[in-house]
Amino acid sequence: MSISAKIRVLVVDDSIFFQRRITEILQRDPAIEVVGKAGDGVAAVAAAQRLQPDVITMDVDMPMMDGISAVRKIMQSRPTPIIMLSAFTQQGAEATLNALEAGALDFLPKNHGGDESSCDHIARHLPQRIHALGRRHQVTASAATSQVQRHAHRRGHYRLLAIGASTGGPVAIQQLLTALPANFPLPVLVVVHMPESFTPAFAERLNGQCRIGVKEAHDGDQLMPGQAYLAPGGKQMLLEERGGVTRLQIVESRADQTYRPSVDVTLASAAEVYRDGVLAVILTGMGADGKQGASRLKQQGSTIWSQDQQSCVVYGMPQAVEKAGLADRVLPLHEIGPQIVRVM
C-alpha cells in the first residue's frame, strides 16, 4: 500500500445498525474506504480472502462463527490487522483478550443495544486506530532504529521495573512478563491503556501465565519483589514512600488527563520515590504517553528502554521516547524480557 492510498477496511458485525454506523463513521474520513461488510465469521473469512483489506473491524458475538474463531482463520490464511469491537463487560474483556492472543492487534469497547453513546465513542477513537494499523507496514526514512546502549552493562542498581504500553500492549506485556523468573528481585508496575472493566480480567490472566505474581493494583498495596501491579482502568497509579515502605495510591483521573491510566503519571511518581533506581520500558502504543515521565526519570538518573519499530504494533510511544533522546536501549520485543533478567 502506497502512502497516498486509501486504507481499505472490511467491517464485520452481525448488527445491521452497527454495520451501518461504523461504515458512516469511517466514510467521513477521506483517507479510509470501506470495501465490504460481513455479518458473521464465515462471511468475514471469505471476504477477507476476496477483498484483501488493509484493516478489519471485528465483532465478537456472531452467528455461524464467532469473531475469535474468525480471527484465527484469517491470521492463518491472510494475516491482516484486526480491531476487535466488544462489550464493556467482564465477559467482553475475556473474549477480547482471547482475540488478541489469536492475532488481533487492537480493541475498542462498545455497548450492546446500539445506543448513540457507544457510536460516539467509536466515532472518537476508531478512525485513528484504523490509521495507526493501516499505515503500520509502510516504510519510512525513520524505519531503522539504532541499538543505543548507554547503560547496557548496568547491573544490580535497580529497585523498580516499570512498563508502559497501549495499542498492541496486552500481548507485548504478556510476552515480557512471562520471561521473568519466579524469584525476580523487583516489584513491577504495569500501565496499559485499558478500560476499567478490562484490567481485572487481564491481571487475572497474566497471573495464571506468569511465574511472578500479577494483580490489579489497589490503593494501599505495599510494593513487594516478584509481584507485578497492573494499573486499574479509568484511574491513575501513584507511589508513596513512608518510613521506608513504598505503597501504591490509586486515585481518580482528572478531567484534563487524556490517558486513564497514564504512563506519564506513574513514571513521574516513580521518579520522585525511586529516583535513579528505575528501569522503565516503553512498549508498543499510539501517541506519546510515557515521554514526559521518561524525561523525569532520566533527570533523576534512571534508565529507559524502548521497543524497536519492527516489533511494535504501533510505533508511537517508543518512537516519542527515542526521538527525544531518552532511550538507553532499543530492543525487539522478544529480547526485552531476557535482557531485563540479565541486568538484575
Condensed to tens digits (0 to 9), the pLDDT of residues 198-214 reads 999 999 999 999 999 99
* Residue among 86, 166, 269, 302 flagged as catalytic: 166
Please state the rounded mean pLDDT for residues 275-296.
97
Least confident window among 69-83, 135-149, 233-247: 135-149
Q: What's 160-343's CATH class?
A: alpha beta
pLDDT at 109: 86
**Residue 97 pLDDT level (bands cut at 50, 70, 90):** very high
The Cα 81–Cα 337 span in angstroms is: 25
Neighbour tally for 273: CB within 10 Å? 18
6-46 pLDDT, tens per residue?
999 999 999 999 999 999 999 999 999 999 999 999 999 99
Neighbour tally for 110: CB within 10 Å? 26
pLDDT at 150: 54
What distance, in Å, lies between the first and last C-alpha atoms of the chain?
A: 43
Largest CA distance in the chain: 64
* Residue among 15, 193, 221, 308 flagged as catalytic: 193
Quick check: 114 pLDDT over 60? no
Q: Where are the domains of the chain?
A: 7-134, 160-343
pLDDT > 90: percent of the chain: 83
DSSP string, 200-219: HHHHHHHHHH-SSEEEE--T
Q: Is the dihedral of CA 312, 317, 318, 320 positive or negative?
A: positive
**Residue 112 pLDDT level (bands cut at 50, 70, 90):** low
Given a contact cutoff of 8 angstroms between Cβ atoms, the answer to whether 320 and 295 are in contact is no
Q: What mean pLDDT value characterizes the chain?
A: 91
Quick check: 335 pLDDT over 50? yes
pLDDT at 147: 53
Examine the residue annotation and report whether 125 is marked as an active-site residue of this protein.
no
* Residue among 40, 59, 66, 289 flagged as catalytic: 289
Please, which residues bridge with residue 12 across strands? 38, 58
Superfamily of domain covering 7-134 = Response regulator (3.40.50.2300)
Angle subtended by helix axes 16-27 and 116-134, to nearest 10: 50
Examine the residue annotation and report whether 166 is marked as an active-site residue of this protein.
yes
Q: How far is CA 176 from the centre of its chain?
A: 13
Confirm whether 7-134 and 160-343 share one CATH topology.
yes
Examine the residue annotation and report whether 131 is marked as an active-site residue of this protein.
no
